[in-house]
Chain A
């Protein structure tokens, strides 16, 4: 006889407080949207979203120094590692709201934009603390579906629709890999929770074919979300087609959460057998370095160039995953924070320029910009130098810490490839600073539409942060240290 026992899981509200805040705000927005007059849609949406992101930050900050704990029957693990990722995601969300504020012409559906942004962030936030393959998949789908729609939110623009469709199709294949891999791992170990999987592997046969195939497929699924080559091909189309604020948010937040999950699942569930996946992740890093940096050299469209650049940056982040020491986790966190700031900053500038021109922005469109918008141009220089990894910007410290962790962790070849990739990277990042100071450009007849003060100020503040965090990296590195220590010991 089969007895069915239903156990109720104890609910920990504090564990999912950010998700509750974000999702309820999203629901409020969607249900109230129909009652709002059109001219109020954008301000109200932006205000609610900004408020929600700010409120969602409260719990992770309050729990920052708490000891790691599990919740919902071991399916969530609330630690500084996940909370740090949550904070980065919410910060990216806030910045995405600000960037969108600067281009209101794009948004007939401002309410939907902000609601979907909140939903995506909620999914990411849940993913950051998930401790189970099932929860991870659900969270992943939650934010992926929101992003598919966000890419196509400007339904009148063909590139957006095309990008979204490609993202959806290729993304479904990627998600299928993740799901299939999870199923295989469950088949091999009988567990979904990361720590239990590790336990089961420790007692059983770690080299079983089913288990290994499962890990391989999970890595493929994660590689897809992290824009790693050879699973990257959707990236340029989706990034180019999506409205720029969406691109900015995707590039920063998706990257953060994908890397955090990759690090967590590989270390927490399969950490004992790191020798097996270490080289595979390393190989993906090398492929990403090569494809991202080489293809970026040929791009004329700035958003497309930045899309390939983000593939190149995955090389650095996967380097940290391959090394998977505490120092590597710390370096990865610092890298993700700086990367989010500088990438969103760069996309925000693209958004401002897009609005001025009323069409997609080419590198040539920045020619002589320094003589018309000196402060914005200076910010762009900061972002490009930081992305290229030059001192005194944050991007420099980010790369240095990754490299030093790779050398200390016995993965010197990744550091060497990373240096070579950085050299190639100079070839396209520096195009923009050079273009900015080009004097041989006629001054346009009609004056530009002025940028929105909030957006410009945010861009400047971001640039200052990128520089200051490069000169005084100590505090941020300390935070990254706390986050990494909550996941792994030395």
Chain B
């Protein structure tokens, strides 16, 4: 199992190295297939690890494997950061999601990126991402976690800005990178605190000693949780560091599906679940997690109602769904959050890839208003998208219900905020998800669509279609892992050892499911009927004019950051450049350089080449040393 784990982790890295070194010597198609094969091989290793963990006793499912410890091992007081991984229930679930969904999306990319001049580089980046993400979920200590955390940020940056000949992707990539850097700094400072107080960053030791070293509710406990939360919030696009995610849709669609929907953006949820001990130690911060989650899910749900770009609608829905996951881990129902993470990875990747097929077929058009009526020409895509939409609204799999049930059962302030906010959010979800389907696949086909639609090779090549179908099947099947109502809760039981779980009662299950289905279904039906008549749409819009304006302005976050972040930063930079850089730094450098140069000239001149002088200097030095020593003598 140890070997399999390391192979699972390092296979994608090997892929990167091979693809990078091969360069032009490998064809585009072989390069794509190589990357795909590597991703699948990694998944097979992950699956093997999963089954061997299943075969073990419930209490013996956590393993730490160390490959190498860097120098300093014989100095006991030196901080040791071994290259070690922790394999347990939590990480193995993530390994399966990352490598499994990842492999399907890499395969889909073969068709999607076909003919792109930078196809090879794209696949190398995808493998780099897979390695980085596996490092995040498999790391056995916080330093490796941060290394993976930074590397996924890098791959995300590279892939958002993949079409760097255009302006928008580059700007979006930079934005994502800067926002994530803020979170990275948070984690780094948290690590510093751990090094100071524990002398180690190993998960196992930090978590077992956390209660003793940092008493519950103490300042340190709160700070660490808060700093880790900063990292989680940035990576998972939650308020207030969420503004990069919609812009990240400038990247190729498979990237949006893999990184900005299924895996990387949910890493924040994984981080909080992984560090549940630290968050349990800081109850106030945990409540803050729940509040952030609910605020984000509502805000993103509202913004999604008015978006017109198909990918941005799905992006805001991603933000909203991650809000649900944050809400779950915020009320200490981590297994429900992880279950939603799992189902979301399937259905959101499915929605993105389906949207990708549509975009592909419509010559890269992304505006839903220029689509319409596509169900007639793309029946199979429509069917698959319905599977995703039903999952998104929350009919099946019932992972969202589970979060709400846990919140209801857990109770408390946070519980009620999550419950009520989550139910309202369910209605929004029903509305925006159905609106997307209604606008894209039904109604009249737009003039643009009629003109540009090309489905010469069917709806999509099989390499694109097969992964989408597999994701749809996965989205349906994964629902059976945890049905609730006392029927199955395999997932919760499996995770219970490594992440806290709340088991709601059957009546609570029934009530919550009824409410969530009712609200989601009502929203869906409402919007379905609404779009029958454009006049009514306009009427509704004018009734909620203020709200719509705010939603279209995305609640003004970008303007806020422009004014409080960008402008002061530019002012500071200009000021520092004109005063600090030119006079203080430049001046002191000039002074130092001149001084050193002058002294150096003098030193070099002292070397005359005359032996007499050499011996004189030697004797003089010896005299100085002798005087120094005799000064210590008690003559």
Contact = CB atoms under 8 A, between A and B. Distances in A.
Nearest to A174: B618
A166 interface: yes
B629 A216 contact: yes
A134 B74 CA distance: 38
A447 B615 CA distance: 45
A230 B620 contact: yes
Interface stretch (A42-50, A118-126, A217-225, A356-364): A217-225
B271 to A, nearest CB: 29
Interface in A260-284: 276-277, 279-280, 283-284
Nearest to B620: A230
Helix, strand, loop or mixed for chain A's interface? Answer: helix
A478 interface: yes
A166 B611 CA distance: 6
B487 interface: no
B600 A215 contact: no
B629 A295 contact: no
B609 A217 contact: no
B543 interface: no
Contacts of B621: 220, 223, 229-231
A250 B597 CA distance: 29
A450 interface: no
Nearest to A290: B603
B501 to A, nearest CB: 42
Nearest to B601: A298
Contacts of A174: 618
B514 interface: no
Contacts of B606: 295
Interface string B576-612: 0000000000000000000011011101101101010
Contact of A236 (B607, B617, B620): B607
A166 B607 CA distance: 13
B604 A299 contact: yes
B67 interface: no
B615 A173 contact: yes
B632 interface: yes
Most B CB contacts (10 A, CB to CB) among A236, A294, A397, A481 go to A294
A32 B74 CA distance: 50
Contacts of A397: 71
A252 B613 CA distance: 26
Contacts of B570: none
A297 B600 CA distance: 7
**Most chain B CB neighbours (cut-off 10 Å) among A277, A299, A474:** A474
A23 B274 CA distance: 66
Interface stretch (A94-102, A204-212, A429-437): A204-212
A427 interface: yes
A77 to B, nearest CB: 24
B630 A213 contact: yes
A479 to B, nearest CB: 12
A274 to B, nearest CB: 12
A45 B604 CA distance: 39
Interface string A227-260: 0011101101100000000000000000000000
A60 to B, nearest CB: 22
Interface residues of B, number: 35
A209 B618 contact: no
A144 to B, nearest CB: 15
Contact of B630 (A170, A173, A209, A477): A209
B596 A297 contact: yes
B625 A216 contact: yes
B611 A220 contact: no
A474 B73 contact: yes
Given A224-B618, A231-B618, A295 B603 contact: yes
A170 B614 contact: yes
B630 to A, nearest CB: 6
A472 interface: yes
Contacts of B624: 230
Contacts of A424: 596
Contacts of A277: 629
B618 A170 contact: yes
Interface string A464-487: 000000001110011001000000
B70 interface: yes
Best-surrounded residue of B597, B611, B619 (most CB of chain A within 10 A): B611
A177 B614 CA distance: 15
A147 interface: no
Contacts of B632: 207, 212, 276
A166 B617 CA distance: 14
Nearest to A281: B625
Nearest to B609: A237
A224 B73 CA distance: 37
Contacts of A229: 621
Interface string B622-635: 10111011101111
A128 to B, nearest CB: 24
B626 A217 contact: yes
Contact of B607 (A209, A216, A233, A481): A233
A209 B627 CA distance: 11
Contacts of A201: none
A28 interface: no
B428 to A, nearest CB: 52
A10 B71 CA distance: 43
A474 B600 contact: no
Of listed B70, B621, B630, residue having the most chain A CB within 10 A: B621
Nearest to B626: A216
Nearest to B612: A169
A329 B622 CA distance: 26
Nearest to B593: A427
B116 to A, nearest CB: 32
A323 B615 CA distance: 29
Given A231-B621, A236-B607, A215 B629 contact: yes
Residue from B74, B607, B613 having most chain A Cβ neighbours under 10 A: B607
Interface string A143-155: 0000000000000
A294 B629 contact: no
Contacts of B600: 294-295, 297-298
Given A236-B607, A280-B628, A294 B71 contact: no
Given A170-B611, A208-B633, A474 B71 contact: yes
A291 interface: yes
B630 A212 contact: yes
Contact of B604 (A173, A219, A298, A478): A298
A237 B613 CA distance: 13
A233 B71 contact: no
Contacts of B599: 294
Contacts of A283: 628
Contacts of B614: 166, 169-170, 233-234
Given A231-B621, A294-B596, A473 B71 contact: yes
Contact of A297 (B72, B73, B597): B597
Contacts of B72: 474
A237 B604 CA distance: 13
A294 to B, nearest CB: 4
A230 B601 CA distance: 17
Contact of A207 (B74, B613, B633): B633
B628 A478 contact: no
Closest 10 CB pairs of A and B: A230-B621, A298-B604, A216-B629, A474-B71, A233-B614, A297-B600, A294-B600, A212-B629, A294-B603, A295-B603
Interface of A: 165-166, 169-170, 173-174, 177, 207-209, 212-213, 215-217, 219-220, 223-224, 229-231, 233-234, 236-237, 276-277, 279-280, 283-284, 290-291, 294-295, 297-299, 397, 424, 427, 472-474, 477-478, 481
9 contacts: A166-B611, A177-B622, A207-B634, A229-B621, A231-B622, A233-B607, A283-B628, A297-B600, A427-B596
Given A170-B614, A231-B618, A279-B628, 16 more contacts: A170-B611, A173-B615, A207-B634, A209-B630, A213-B629, A217-B626, A229-B621, A233-B614, A276-B629, A280-B628, A284-B625, A291-B603, A294-B604, A295-B607, A298-B601, A298-B603
